[in-house]
């Protein structure tokens, strides 16, 4: 078996959301999976990490977090993944539950079929757990076209999970020594994995030596720093609804965003990258950096009479109010 790891932004950001790059030269992992997308949002510093890992000679694949369709539209998620990862020879889809988010097999099927409709030609591997798959998956033979990556934190391999007779990758631990994996942000534990097979088979799974270009996310403007005077919800989408809730940010949380978006009802939302990707109500924030002026009216001032009442053209110009 061949040792590997998997990492998200929790492994390369610290409590202050500063960037702490993984020291890939120190990592004993032969292969690794890196979180690239959280639903339909980018994961901070993913592009930096995958480029560094490949430069260090690691076999690397992105993984994406799947939300249930009631929280984030499945087609929107798959379209976003394709826009970011279309050249990747392998994508892992994380199919598990968290908080109130429990994707169903129909969500997974919809996301995969949407990727194929977008003409994604690479491989897909499904990450899940035995019990989660029994509760939310099914044993349809459709799934046999995809290898499975199963989690079981034990010295014993995962149970047989129909329709698969054997997992391709086993996530056997979530308590690996961070020093052995180049972690520099002070995190205490790291996910560890075994690949069943030879080095040649592992390389074939990860693309057979193909190293796709890493395109950074399209620029969304200069970062905006803000804080919330009162506790505030972070959401998966720019709308107020129970199903969009991610977490409650305590008062005076330092928030970083890249864009102010307008919801269908006209409300303004900050698209955030810190404390994590999401959306929060812009009208409830105090901005430490002035947000960009976007959509403010251009007013044409045309004054024909001076204060004295004489017909004299005093002002004739356009004016846009300050933010």
pLDDT tens digits for 10-49?
A: 999 876 657 899 999 999 999 999 999 999 999 988 999 9
Mean pLDDT, the chain, rounded, equals 87
**β-bridge partners, 92:** 63, 125
> What beta strand segments (E) does the chain contain?
2-7, 31-38, 41-42, 59-65, 90-94, 123-129, 148-151, 169-176, 190-195, 224-227, 232-235, 245-249, 254-262, 268-274, 278-281, 286-287, 299-305, 311-319
Tell me the three state secondary structure of residue 60.
Answer: strand
Relative to beta strand 232-235, strand 224-227 is: unpaired
Contacts of 314 (CB under 8 A, 6+ apart): 303, 304, 305, 306
What is the distance between the alpha carbons of residues 228 and 113, in angstroms, rounded to a whole number?
Answer: 40
Tell me the three state secondary structure of residue 274.
Answer: strand
What is the distance between the alpha carbons of residues 247 and 245, in angstroms, rounded to a whole number?
Answer: 6
pLDDT digits (tens, 9 = 90+) for 130-139: 999 999 999 9
Tell me the three state secondary structure of residue 58.
Answer: coil
Q: What is the pLDDT of residue 286?
A: 87
Q: What is the pLDDT of residue 298?
A: 46
Largest CA distance in the chain: 94
For residue 216, what pLDDT band results from cuts at 50, 70 and 90?
low
CB 86 within 8 A of CB 118: yes
Q: What is the pLDDT of residue 312?
A: 45
Alpha helical stretches, state H, 86-184? 105-117, 130-136
DSSP 49: H
Q: What is the mean pLDDT of residues 200-220?
A: 75
Among 67-71, 104-108, 208-212, 228-232, name the one with the lowest average pLDDT.
Answer: 208-212
**β-bridge partners, 94:** 65, 127
* Mutual angle of helices 105-117 and 74-85, in 10-degree steps: 40
Q: What is the mean pLDDT of residues 285-291?
A: 76
CB 298 within 8 A of CB 312: no
Q: What is the pLDDT of residue 259?
A: 85
Closest Cα to residue 68, out of 96, 103, 94? 103
CATH code: domain 2-205 is 3.20.20.80
pLDDT at 120 over 90: yes
Closest Cα to residue 304, out of 296, 312, 293? 312
Q: What is the pLDDT of residue 295?
A: 47
For residue 123, what pLDDT band results from cuts at 50, 70 and 90?
very high
Q: What is the pLDDT of residue 304?
A: 46
Q: How far is CA 286 from CA 123, 190, 260, in A?
A: 45, 36, 14
Among 59-68, 87-96, 231-240, name the one with the lowest average pLDDT.
Answer: 231-240
Q: What is the mean pLDDT of residues 248-252?
A: 91
Q: What is the pLDDT of residue 50?
A: 94
Q: What is the pLDDT of residue 219?
A: 55
pLDDT digits (tens, 9 = 90+) for 67-80: 999 999 999 999 99
CB 100 within 8 A of CB 108: no
- pTM for the model stands at 0.70
Closest Cα to residue 158, out of 190, 134, 189, 181? 134
What is the distance between the alpha carbons of residues 167 and 151, in angstroms, rounded to a whole number?
Answer: 10
């Amino acid at each position: 078996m061949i040792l590997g790891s998997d990492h998200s932004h929790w492994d390369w950001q610290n409590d202050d959301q500063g960037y702490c790059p993984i020291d890939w030269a120190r990592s004993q992992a032969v292969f690794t999976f890196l979180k690239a997308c959280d639903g339909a949002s980018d994961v901070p510093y993913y592009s930096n990490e995958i480029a560094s890992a490949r430069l260090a000679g690691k076999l690397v694949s992105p993984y994406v977090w799947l939300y249930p369709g009631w929280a984030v539209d499945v087609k929107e998620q798959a379209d976003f993944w394709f826009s970011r990862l279309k050249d990747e020879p392998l994508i892992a889809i994380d199919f598990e539950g968290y908080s109130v988010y429990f994707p169903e097999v129909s969500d997974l099927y919809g996301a995969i079929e949407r990727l194929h409709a977008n003409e994604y030609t690479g491989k897909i591997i499904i990450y899940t757990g035995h019990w989660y798959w029994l509760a939310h998956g099914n044993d349809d033979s459709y799934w046999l076209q995809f290898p499975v990556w199963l989690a079981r934190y034990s010295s014993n391999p995962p149970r047989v999970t129909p329709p698969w007779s054997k997992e391709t990758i086993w996530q056997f631990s979530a308590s690996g020594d961070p020093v052995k994996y180049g972690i520099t942000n002070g995190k205490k534990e790291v996910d560890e994995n075994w690949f069943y097979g030879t080095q040649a088979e592992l390389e074939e799974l990860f693309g057979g030596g193909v190293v796709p270009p890493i395109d950074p996310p399209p620029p969304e403007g200069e970062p905006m720093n803000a804080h919330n005077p009162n506790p505030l919800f972070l959401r998966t989408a720019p709308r107020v609804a129970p199903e969009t809730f991610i977490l409650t940010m305590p008062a005076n949380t330092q928030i970083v965003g890249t864009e102010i978006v307008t919801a269908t009802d006209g409300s303004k939302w900050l698209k955030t990258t810190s404390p994590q990707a999401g959306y929060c109500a812009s009208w409830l924030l105090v901005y430490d950096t002035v947000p960009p002026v976007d959509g403010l009216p251009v007013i044409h001032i045309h004054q024909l009479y001076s204060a004295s009442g004489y017909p004299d053209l005093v002002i004739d110009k356009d004016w846009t109010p300050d933010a």
